[in-house]
Chain A
Amino acid sequence: MATHKGRGVSAIEYPTGMNQNGDPSQAWIKIKPDGRVDVFAGTSDIGNGSKTIQSQIVADALGVPYDWITYDNSNTDSSPLCTGTFASRATFVAGMAAKKAAESARTKLLEIAGKLLEIDPADLDVVDGEVIPKGAPQKKISVADVAGAATWVYGELITGTGAQLKPYAAIVDNETGRVDLPPHSAISYAACAAEVEVDDETGHVTVTHLWQCFDVGHALNPTLVEGQIEGGAMQGLGLSVLENCYPYYPSVEHRGGQFGSYLAPGMEDLPQIDTIIIENPSADGPYGAKGIGEMANNPQPPAITAAVYDAIGVWITELPITPERVLRALEAKAKPRREGKVVIFDEELSLAKFAHADVAVKFDVHA
C-alpha cells in the first residue's frame, strides 16, 4: 500500500470560429447627446465575459473611457444577429463586429467634430473621450461636446454598424477531405503538465498540480482569460477522473440524476494551477486576440492519463480514471500484444473484439 506520484505532459491546438466558417456576427452603436455609448449585439454572455470584452474593444476603438460604454445583448428586436456563443468565437468573431461598429461610429463622430472645429476629420484623433487635432492639441474638444452638437446643432445621430463574416469554406474533395479555404478564423495552442498522486490501495487519483501555457494571441483582459483557463482546467479534471453520465457505458443503467450521484468537480478537487500566457497576436482577430474558451478543458485529460501511467505503470484509456478502473488495471497489469513491429494496446476494447468478422467498418493497420 503506497501513494505513487507521476507527471504527464500534453500539447494541443484548437480552432477559433465555427468549423468551415459561415458564422456571422453583427453589432451596432449609437452615441447619446453627452457622448456616452450604447452597444447592441446579439452575443449571449454564458460566463465567458463577452459583455466585458466587447465593451473594452468598443472603448478603445472609439477612444472613450470604458465606463462610458453600455452593452445591451438582451433581445433580438434591438440587437442584430450573432450566430451564438460557441466555437470559441465570441471574442474573435463577435468582438470583431463590435470593433468595426466602433470604427464606423468614430468616423461619423470625427465628421461632426470636423464641421465643428473646421478641421479635416483626417487630422483629428480621439483619445480618452476627447477629440484632439493633430499638431494643435490646445484646440481639443470633448466627445460629449461633439455628440451634443450632433444632436442639437446639426440634427444628426452618431451611429456605427459592423459585421464580421468569413464565408463558408466548403469541402472540395470527398475523397481526401481537402478544403479550399482555411476552415477556421484562427488556431490557438496550449501545452500542459499534470502531477498526480495515485493510491494503489483505494485506486484514488488526486490531481495535485497543473501547469498550463496558452497562446491567447493577445490577452484583451488577462483576468478573464486566466478565469477561462483555470475554470477549463477544473472541467478537464472532471473529464479525467470524475465525471460520467453512464458509469457502466455502454449500458444506460445507473445514470446519476442528482448532484449526489454525479461527480462534478468541486473546490475540494482544486489542484495548484500555474498559468502561463504567451502572446503571438493573430493576424486578423480584434487587437490580435484568439479564442481559447473551449480548448481550456482539452489538455488536462491526456496529461493526467500520462501522469497516472508515470505513477503506477498502467495505461487507462477509458475515461474517467475512477478508483475502480485503477484497481482493475493494477490487477490486470495488461501488456500490449507484439506482432512483428506492431505494438497493440487495448485490444480488449477494440472494435474488432466486439464486432462480427463481417462488419461494414473495420480498423486494420495491415489493410
Chain B
Amino acid sequence: MKAVGARLPRYDGIAHVTGRSTYVDDVRIPGTLWVKALRSPHHNAAITKLDTSPAEKLKGVHAVVTAADVPLLVYGHLSALGIPGDEPLLADGEVRYQGQPIAVVAAESEELAMAAVEAIRIEYEERPALFDIRKAFDPDAPVIHEWGNWYPHFEGELDRRQIRKGDIEWAFDKADTIVQGVYRPAAIEHVPLETQVCQVVPEADGRLTIYSCTQALYFSLGVVCAHLQLPLNKVKVVGGTVGGGFGGKVDTATETMCALLAQKSGRPVKWRWTREEEFLCSSTRAPWHMEIADAVTKDGWILGRKMLTLHDSGAYARFSPYGLTKHSFHHAGAYTIPNIHFDGYVVFTNRVPTTAMRGFGVTSVSFAVETHLSRIAVELGIDPFELRLKNANRIGDTTPNGVVLTDPSTVPTIQAIADAIGHELTAEYRTTTRDTRSGAFLPDHLVSQLGNPEEH
C-alpha cells in the first residue's frame, strides 16, 4: 500500500487530543526557578537609572539579568541574508516599545519573581513616540530609530525595495483608465493556544538543555549560541512539538534570556508567558499601507502598475526587510503586468516589533491587489472572473523581477471556482488554458515579456 496520497491520520493526533503530547509546559524538572520580566511601560524613553540590587537582595531570588550580562547584546537574526542587527536582547539605555524587556529575574516562585521585578529601581525620561507610518517621512517627525525612521540597508545600501520593469510612462499614457486605491490590513496576534514558554537546564557537564516551543530548532540554537558566544555543541534544543506557532515562534523570544538566567543561577529556570503577555508583548502580524494605481484599457488589460508599500515594522527590523522583499516579488499577484514601478519601505514605529505570520509579506499584497482588481472590474463593467482570466499568468510569462513561470495554475483554479458557484463564463474564458499565450490572450503589449521556461 502506498502511504503517499493516503488519508492517514495525523502521526501525533491521538496524543494531542487525549492530552498526552509533551509540550514545553508539561516538562517537570525538580528545583526549577520561575522567570518574570521587567518590561517597559513607555513607548519611547531613555532609561536614566537602573538598579537591580533591591531585587537581587530578596530572599529566594537567584539571578537577575540585564543588558550588561549578555555577551553579544545585538545579534541580527538574518545577518546571513545581509540584514544587520538593531535589536538588543534586553533594552540598553533606552526603550522603544511598551512591553520591551529590560531585565529578567529567576526566583523560587512566580509571585516572588514578580515581586523582584517590582523591586527593581528604574527611571525613565519619556520621548515623543511615532505610531503612524504615514507621518514617519515628515521632516518634523521624531526620529525613533538609530537608522532613521525607515530601514536603509536593502542590498547594503538602499532605503527601499525597488522593482522596475518595462516602460511605466508608456503604460500610463496609453491607458484608458487609471484606477487608484489604498489598502490597509491590520496587525493581528498569532493567538497560539500555547503561549511562549521555555525551560533551560544547566547540565553537570556545562551544557545547556533548552526546552523550546520554537518553530525552528536550529534557528533558535544559532540565535542562543550567537548571543552567548558558544559553539553549537554547548547547547541542546529540545522541542519539535509546538502548540501553535503561525510564525510568531520563529522569534526566539524567551530562550536566550532563560539560558542566561540558568547560567547565572546554576539552576533550571522556566518562563511561561501569561495570555496577557502573549497578546501585548509578543510580536504581531504587521499592519501595512499599500497604494496602487493600475493603468488599464477599457477592455480590461492591465498595462502597468505603480505601487507604494509602507510596512509597519514596529520598533526594530527583526524579519521585516525579508518580508517586504518577498512582498515586492509578488506585488503583481497571479497576473502578468509588463510595466511595473514598485517602491516599498520598512518603517519603524514605537509598537511591538512585527514579525513573520502565515503568508508573511504576501497576505497583505494579495488583499491589496485582489481587492483592487475587483474594483477595476466594477469600474470597467467587466466580469471579475473574466478580468482575472484575461490577465492571469500563463506558462512562459515573466514576473516583475524577471522569473519565467513554468507551471502557473491561476487559470484552472479560477475556472474551478466559477464552476463551483455556477458562474457562467463565456466560451472564450471557459476554454482558455494556462498554456503559453497565443491568439486573443497574447496582445501586442505582452509579446515582449514572454520568456522561455527552459531558461529556468
Contacts and interface: CB of A to CB of B under 8 A. Distances in A.
B371 A85 contact: no
A351 B403 CA distance: 31
B405 interface: yes
Nearest to A65: B1
A147 interface: no
B216 interface: yes
Contacts of A349: 182, 184
Interface residues of B, number: 142
B160 to A, nearest CB: 8
A51 B179 CA distance: 47
Given A20-B325, A239-B363, A276-B416, A256 B6 contact: no
A294 to B, nearest CB: 5
Contact of A319 (B185, B236, B279): B185
A14 B160 CA distance: 22
B287 A12 contact: no
Interface stretch (B65-73, B126-134, B256-264): B126-134
Interface stretch (A117-125, A159-167, A245-253): A245-253
A232 interface: yes
A193 interface: yes
A112 interface: no
A343 B180 contact: yes
B189 interface: yes
B199 interface: no
Contacts of B279: 245, 255-258, 262
Given A176-B164, A354-B132, A86 B179 contact: no
B215 A258 contact: no
A360 B405 CA distance: 35
Interface in B132-148: 132-135, 137-140
A330 to B, nearest CB: 17
Contact of B413 (A189, A301, A345): A189
B3 interface: yes
A177 B358 contact: no
Contact of A298 (B5, B359, B421): B359
A244 B187 contact: yes
Contacts of A150: none
Contacts of A317: 181-184, 371
Contact of B239 (A44, A49, A246, A315): A44
B343 interface: yes
B373 to A, nearest CB: 8
A213 B6 contact: no
Nearest to B133: A250
Contacts of B10: 49, 51-52, 224
Given A60-B2, A235-B358, A317-B371, A11 B218 contact: no
Contacts of A259: 275
Nearest to A256: B279
Contacts of A181: 456
Contacts of A179: 329, 401-403
Contacts of B370: 10-12, 299, 302-303, 306
A85 B214 CA distance: 9
Contacts of B219: 83-84
Contacts of A319: 184-186, 367
A44 B217 contact: yes
B385 A9 contact: yes
B84 interface: no
Interface stretch (A27-35, A74-82, A134-142, A197-205): A74-82
Contact of A42 (B163, B218, B325, B361): B218
A276 B415 CA distance: 11
B238 A74 contact: yes
B181 A177 contact: no
Nearest to B414: A191
B8 A221 contact: yes
Given A83-B216, A85-B216, A183-B403, A341 B358 contact: no
Nearest to A288: B4
A148 interface: no
Interface string A296-338: 1111011101100100000101111000000000000000000
Interface residues of A, number: 139
B105 to A, nearest CB: 22
B402 A361 contact: no
B257 to A, nearest CB: 19
B4 A56 contact: yes
Contact of A19 (B244, B287, B322, B358): B322
A264 B228 CA distance: 37
B155 interface: yes
Contacts of A191: 410, 413-414, 416-417
Contacts of B186: 239, 243-246, 249, 318-320
Interface stretch (B29-37, B52-60, B245-253): B245-253
Contacts of A246: 186-187, 287, 351
A220 B413 contact: no
Interface in B210-232: 214-219, 221, 232
A178 B401 contact: yes
Contacts of B413: 11, 189-191, 213-215, 278
A193 B421 contact: yes
A304 to B, nearest CB: 10
B215 A301 contact: no
A351 B183 CA distance: 11
Contacts of B179: 343, 345
B215 A86 contact: yes
B81 interface: yes
B456 A182 contact: yes
B374 A8 contact: yes
A149 interface: no
Given A66-B3, A177-B161, A343-B180, A84 B236 contact: no
Interface string B157-200: 11011111100000010011111111111111101000000000
Interface of B: 1-12, 43, 80-81, 98, 131-135, 137-140, 154-155, 157-158, 160-165, 172, 175-189, 191, 214-219, 221, 232, 235-242, 244-247, 249-250, 275-276, 279-280, 284, 287, 289, 291, 293, 306, 308, 310, 312, 322, 325-326, 328-330, 333-334, 342-343, 345, 349-351, 356, 358-363, 366-371, 374-375, 378-379, 384-385, 388, 392-393, 400-403, 405-410, 412-414, 416-417, 420-421, 423, 456
19 contacts: A9-B374, A12-B370, A13-B393, A45-B12, A65-B3, A83-B219, A84-B218, A85-B245, A86-B215, A171-B155, A174-B155, A183-B401, A189-B408, A245-B186, A255-B280, A294-B362, A298-B363, A317-B181, A317-B182
